[in-house]
Amino acid sequence: MGSSFVPGLKVSRHTVLRKRRILPLKGEVKKNLGDEVAASEVVAETYLPGKVHPMNVANLLGVVPADLPRCMVRKEGEAVQRNEVLARSTSFFGLFKNEVTAKVEGTLENVSTITGQVMVREKPTPVQVRAFVDGTVVEIIPQEGVVLETTATYIQGIFGIGGETQGRITVLVEAPGEELTAESIRSEHAGQVLVGGAFASLAALRKAVEVGAAGVVVGGIDALDLVEFMGYDLGVAITGSERLGLTLIVTEGFGHVAMAERTFSLLTELSGSEASINGSTQIRAGVIRPEIIVTRAREQREAPPGDELKGLEVGDLVRIIRQPHFGELGTVTSLPHELSTLESESRARVLEVTLATGQILRLPRANTEVIAG
Amino acid sequence: MNNEPTVKVILATDCGSTTTKAILIEKVGQEYRQTYRGEAPTTVEAPFEDVTMGVLNAVQEVAEISGRRLVGDDGRIMTPARGKEGCDLYISTSSAGGGLQMMVAGVVRSMTAESAERAALGAGSIVMDVIACNDKRLPHEQIERIRQLRPDMILVSGGVDGGTTKHVVELAELIAAASPKPRLGSGFHLPVIYAGNAQAADEVATVLADKTDLNVVPNLRPVLERENLGPAREKIHDMFLEHVMQQAPGYKKLMSWVNADIMPTPEAVGRILRTIAEKEGINAVCVDIGGATTDIFSVFGGEFNRTVSANLGMSYSISNVFTEAGLPNVLRWVPFPMDERDLRNRVKNKMIRPTTIPSSLEELVFEQAIAREALRLAFEQHKAFASRLKGVQQQRTIGDTFDQGAGGESLVNLMDLDLLVASGGVLSHAPRMAQTALLLIDSFLPEGVTALAKDSIFMMPHLGVLSQVHPAAATEVFEKDCLIYLGTCVAPVGKAKEGSRLLHWRFETETGRVEEGELHQGELARVPLALQERAHFSGHPEKGIDLGRGKGTKVETVLKGGEVGLVLDGRGRPLVLPADQGRRVECLHRWLKAMDAYDARLYTL
């Protein structure tokens, strides 16, 4: 109700994180309450029903569907091998035989006397859910999975591609405004999470794939480079299932945008630590942002620094997230209550921001985002 | 409703994906008027997971502004009204949690499957996919798709009554093999509605009854020449209430508060549009452009159609609009140079930060250029779908059946369109009304004489539900408070040379003010005609030019005034912008200046 709540992305040095690790369908939970698990351990497992292959056996045999059951060599529920005879019809006192063989190995699931269709289901495929982060099992969701708790550094990106992976953090730039170049990426970076500054070019991304890096974390990328890198243009921001050879996390946005100082200094501090990263992004109701998680030893845990999301206040550091001045940082100096007329003549709630240069801007509140810390 | 006359205070809410909107309608003297409104974030998702919290917040805002107490100590909406407390009727619509999501199946993609799609869309659903025997996917791919999508329900059609049963039972077997699970409430069977060949119903039941919550209704395509979508639509609505709503967080409680069934938001919009079109005897189109999707509703010759363009929207889907329309199509509306690389980054930044708004004039013009293309593409989809030979309850001759093979002629005839209604952020919140009018004209390209209006606070969903329980109040509020008339567009159609005369026009208002002039090819003109004014208009088109009554034939009509007034559009149909960069910018400048659409600074960019 008219709140001036402007959430930013979460960037926490120390936080107690709970992760739900759930199967896509019911199965078996492999861990117990209180178990300490490592990121790579399997916490729950199930079998996805195999693919179903229908074929119209009645048509193939040249019989009416109602006659199909007596032609079936294999019955419903039986296992069948590839190329094994499934059904056979004979005519002319057994002189002519007509046979239909299975195209896949699996189980004969259904024989329809109405349509003449026979369904063979392939073997189930195992699906495993791993812990993804080191932590303790604090809740068991029967037949579905677990909730893990861990103390960690937690950094959200704005956009990413590629799914869950792990690797050691290596910072390849000196400053958050610096560009991650292809030349700086070398073969020893295989399996690592490479941190750049303001920008990673297409050449840098390709080099990272070439050396086998696990991931790249960078302030900005170019939209056209992304099209080239993915091989298609992204219509809506629903990602995570891409198989491009690495997981990419963009922390600020499209274009050359310096990585937020706090994010960069945290990642620099964590250089050499093992990180769990996930590029999955869903910008819809129930938004999902990409994340970087570095588990911290429990004893390192400090009192939370109060980085919970809060309402916007004078003195807050904000980033401008729309042109003009996209990517610039400033301090909120005023939060006028009444609606103001913008240059576009739209009316909106605004705030006044003072940039580092001393320039004062009046901007729609919706076009800024709080930078924690 | 029996006690219609005693109803004095009506409270209505619409629970959208992001915002819950509440309006208060009160009897003021002898008429019903919308008096107050409030809004609050929707609370369907974690951490709240109770839609009623957002409802109460929005209602509380109305209560604070109006001074009427609406929420009781028990945390419920107070009914009936007593003095300055409570309301007589409380109603609600909902599209929260992604709305109603369905999958439909039919035997032939362009026939029964399309009829099923129409039934689902008409019932306010999002159609996630259409499965048909001839959709060019292999059966195991279809099974995988059904299993992955997890819809709220499936509508199965196929076969005319008495026709072949084999294909439709095959469809049922595919669904049974996929054994789909509902999106909400994993312990329940997925609702499946069977509306196909009546003779196959028993066999379909044999296949599906144990694995799904099967409901059989009369065939939605009993014969090839006729659709019968009513029973399927009603069953969808019932299942929506019984299953989907029951599983959505907080809806059980909300359902116990309302005085009429909760309706999916698009269904409610469709109902009010149909009611108005019928009452006024007009053809109407309504567009609602949102962040993710664009809904278009039309009533032509009494036939209603709705389409949802799932990935055409102004924030979440903006990048997709850009991809589908192509850069040149978007940029043709922008009268200043832009760098492609920078522009693509801007679009993607809007996609990942969907709540940002254009603050500079340059940004606004660019965003409205994308909106024109989103609307154009969505309307193209609508025109293709709303086809004459496949309309609701349409009687056809056997000769028409063969025509259908050719794809069917669109029901949407822009020359017959009387009213074009705009809603959704980019249209409703455009800083100048002339921008809204021009966005509508440029993307829908109305022909002849067409009234333009906007539903600035998107009140149509509320009025759609209200029309079910109190039609008088619904139509009264629609006429008096819902629509803001922008004016009327007069657009002659026909081939003419640039600069040649298209028509001579004249209007006289009720107060005796007379305006007249000529419209030439390539010209766009705006003549003030205030909101409360009505004028008798006559237009004499040149030979070969049509204004709605045939080439060269004079048209006389009554014009509705509005914030923009009369817009005379001589730019031709289809509207083709000059390929030459300089000429294009010159044309845009001339048209935008004629409309007084933007601040003069635009022309210096």
Q: Is B347 on the interface with A (CB under 8 A)?
A: yes
CATH number, domain of A226, equals: 3.50.30
Instruction: Assess whether A162 and A285 both reside in one domain.
Output: yes
The residue type at B41: P
Mean pLDDT for chain A overall = 88
Q: Does residue B114 contact residue B165 with C-beta atoms inside 8 Å?
A: no
Domain for residue A324, yes or no?
yes
**Does residue A77 belong to any structural domain of this protein?**
yes
Confidence bin at A305 (pLDDT 50/70/90): very low
Chain A contacts of B60, Cβ < 8 Å? 1
Q: Is the pLDDT of residue B249 over 70?
A: yes
B397 CB-contact burial (10 Å; exposed 0-12 / middle 13-18 / buried 19+): exposed
Q: Are A170 and A275 part of one and the same domain? A: yes
Mutation site, B320, B349, B362, B596, interface A, largest A CB count within 10 A:
B349
pLDDT-derived band at A311, boundaries 50, 70, 90: low
Tell whether A115 lies on the interface with B, counting CB pairs under 8 A.
yes
Confidence of residue B179 (pLDDT cuts 50, 70, 90): confident
- Shared domain for A166 and A253, answered yes or no, is yes
How would DSSP label each residue in A98-112?
A: EEEE-SSSEEEEEE-
Structure tokens at A360: 């004062």
Burial A294-329 (b: 16+ CB within 10 A, else e): bbbeeeeeeeeeebeeeebeeebbbbbbbbebbbbb
Q: Among A289, A305, A340, give the residue marking a domain's end.
A: A289
Q: What's the average model confidence in pLDDT over A34-43?
A: 94
pLDDT at B98 over 80: no
Domains identified in chain A, total number: 3
Q: Can you give the pLDDT at residue A307?
A: 46
A23–B contact, CB cutoff 8 A: no
**Dihedral through CA B369, CA B374, CA B377, CA B378, nearest 10?**
-150
Query: For the domain that residue A88 is a member of, what is the CATH number?
Result: 2.40.50
Separation between Cα atoms, residue B152 and residue B146, nearest integer Å: 12
Q: What strand order describes the sheet that includes B9-15?
A: B31-41, B19-28, B9-15, B89-94, B263-264
Q: Is residue A226 part of a domain?
A: yes
Distance CA B32, CA B479 (A): 10
The answer to whether residues A252 and A350 belong to one domain is: no
Tens of pLDDT, residues A134-143: 999 999 999 8
**Taking Cα atoms as reference points, which of B298, B279, B277 lies closest to residue B287?**
B298
Residues A158, B45: C-beta atoms closer than 8 Å: no
- Chain A residue with minimal CA distance to B175? A52
DSSP for B435-481, please give it: HHHHHHHHHH---EEEEEEE-TT--HHHHHHHHHH-HHHHHHHIIII
CATH assignment of the domain containing A323:
2.30.30
Q: Does B65 touch chain A (CB under 8 A)?
A: no
Q: Which of A283, A319, A353 is best to mutate for the B interface (most B CBs within 10 A)?
A: A283
Gap between the Cα atoms of B591 and B588, Å rounded: 5
d(CA B520, CA B569): 9
State yes or no: pLDDT of B149 exceeds 70: yes
A45 is a domain residue: no
Q: At residue B246, does pLDDT exceed 80?
A: no
pLDDT at A262: 87
Residues A168 and A211 in one domain: yes
Statement to judge: residues A338 and A249 lie in one domain? no
Q: How many CB atoms lie within 10 A of CB A218?
A: 28
Is B355's pLDDT higher than 50?
yes
A96 shares its domain with A196: no
At B571, is the secondary structure helix, strand, or coil? coil
Find out whether B206 and B165 touch, Cβ atoms under 8 Å.
no
| Confidence (pLDDT) at A3 | 34
Q: Is B176 on the interface with A (CB under 8 A)?
A: yes
| A71 and A113 inside one domain | yes
Using one digit for the tens of pLDDT, what is the confidence trace for A81-115?
Answer: 999 999 998 877 777 788 999 999 999 988 988 88
Residue with tokens 């060599």: A73
Closest to A344 (Cβ–Cβ): which among B341, B356, B431? Answer: B431
| Three-state secondary-structure class, residue B584 | helix
Is the Cβ pair B319, A109 closer than 8 Å? no
Mode of pairing for the β-strands spanning A215-221 and A247-254: parallel
Query: How many Å apart are CA B181 and CA A85, to the nearest integer?
Result: 33
The HSE-up count of residue B302 (CA atoms within 13 Å, CB side) is 6
Query: Is residue A353 over pLDDT 70?
Result: yes
Judged by a CB distance cut-off of 8 A, whether residue A186 touches chain B is no
ipTM: 0.85
Expressed as residue numbers, the domain containing A172 is 158-289
What local confidence, expressed as pLDDT, does residue B373 receive?
97
- B45 interface with A at CB cutoff 8 Å: yes
Looking at the complex, does the CB of residue A284 fall below 8 Å from at least one CB of chain B? yes
B339 touches chain A (CB under 8 A): no
Q: What token pair was written down for B525?
A: 């003109």
Between CA B204 and CA B207 the distance in angstroms is 5
Residue A134 phi, psi dihedral angles, 5° rounding: -70, 135
Say whether B210 sits in a helix, a strand or coil: coil
Residue A272 backbone class (left: φ over 0; alpha: ψ -120 to 50; beta: rest): left
- Which has the higher per-residue pLDDT, B425 or B383? B383
* Residues of chain B above pLDDT 70, percent: 94
Residue A4 has pLDDT above 60, yes or no: no
Name chain A contacts of B178, Cβ cutoff 8 Å. Answer: 52
| Window 429-448 of B, Cβ < 8 Å to A | 429, 431-432
A6 phi, psi to nearest 5 deg: -125, 90
Domain co-membership, A279 together with A214: yes
Whether A110 and A164 share a structural domain: no
**pLDDT tens digits, A148-182:** 999 999 999 999 999 999 999 999 999 999 999 99
Distances (CA, A) of B585 to B71, B522, B576, B580, B592: 56, 14, 13, 9, 10
Task: Outline where DSSP puts E strands in A30-144.
Answer: 36-37, 42-48, 52-56, 79-80, 85-91, 96-101, 106-111, 117-122, 125-130, 135-141
Interface touch B177/A109, C-beta < 8 Å = yes
Q: Give the pLDDT of residue A308.
A: 47
pLDDT band at B47 (very low <50, low <70, confident <90, very high): low
**Nearest Cβ partner of B98 from A285, A343, A345?**
A285
Q: Is A323 on the interface with B (CB under 8 A)?
A: yes
pLDDT value of residue A298: 60
Whether residues A330 and A277 fall in one domain: no
- Is A109 inside any structural domain? yes
Q: Domain for residue A127, yes or no?
A: no
Would you call B307 exposed, middle or buried from its count of C-beta atoms within 10 A (0-12, 13-18, 19+)? Answer: buried
pLDDT at A303 over 80: no
Task: Write b or e for each residue in B271-285: b if 16 or more Cβ atoms lie within 10 A of its Cβ, otherwise e.
Answer: bbbbbbbeeeeebbb
CA-nearest residue to A157 within chain B is B352
Domain boundary among A289, A307, A339: A289
**Is residue B557 scored above 80 in pLDDT?**
yes
Average pLDDT score over residue span A290-294: 96
Locate B149 and state its tokens: 């999508």
**Among residues of chain A, what percentage have pLDDT more than 70?**
92
Average pLDDT over residues B276-296: 90
Calculate the average pLDDT of chain B: 88
Burial zone of B60 (CB within 10 Å; 0-12 exposed, 13-18 middle, 19+ buried):
middle
User: Residue B556: what pLDDT?
Assistant: 97
Asked whether the beta carbons of B156 and B204 are under 8 A apart, the reply is yes
* CB-CB neighbours of A221 under 10 Å: 30
Picking from B432, B54, B439, B315, the residue whose alpha carbon sits closest to that of residue A366 is B315
B 111-170 near A (Cβ less than 8 A): 139-140, 143-144, 165-167, 169-170
Q: Has residue A234 been placed in a domain?
A: yes
Mean pLDDT score, A275-291: 85
Helices (H), B209-339: 230-239, 245-247, 251-257, 265-280, 318-325, 327-331
Q: Binning pLDDT at 50, 70 and 90, where does residue B183 land?
A: confident
Q: Where would I find the H helices in chain A? A: 57-61, 68-71, 202-211, 223-230, 261-269
Does B163 have pLDDT greater than 80? yes
> How many CB contacts within 8 angstroms connect chain A with chain B?
173
- Reported as a pLDDT band with limits 50, 70 and 90, residue B237 is confident
Tell whether the model's pLDDT for residue B404 goes beyond 80.
Answer: no
Does residue B339 sit in helix, strand or coil?
coil
* Per-residue pLDDT, A6: 40
In one-letter notation, the amino acid at residue A121 is R
A302 found inside a domain: no
pLDDT at residue A312, as a whole number: 77
Measuring CA to CA, which residue among A248, A261, A245 is closest to residue A218?
A248
The residue ranking higher by pLDDT, A336 or A212, is A212
Q: Would you call B602 an interface residue with chain A, using a CB distance cutoff of 8 Å?
A: no
Contact present, A131 and A38 (Cβ < 8 Å) = yes
Q: Measure the CA–CA gap between A201 and A205, rounded to whole angstroms.
A: 6
DSSP 8-state assignment for residue A24: S
pLDDT at B405 over 50: no
Per the DSSP assignment, residues forming a β-bridge with A137 are A148
Least confident of A21-25, A52-56, B511-515: A21-25
Domains and CATH numbers, chain B: 4-96 (3.30.420.40), 99-251 (3.40.50.2300), 284-482+575-604 (no CATH)
- Domain identity same for A112 and A216: no
Asked if B317 and B291 touch (Cβ cutoff 8 Å), the reply is yes
* Final residue in a domain of this structure, among A122, A145, A169: A122
For residue A352, give the H/E element and its range. Answer: strand A347-355
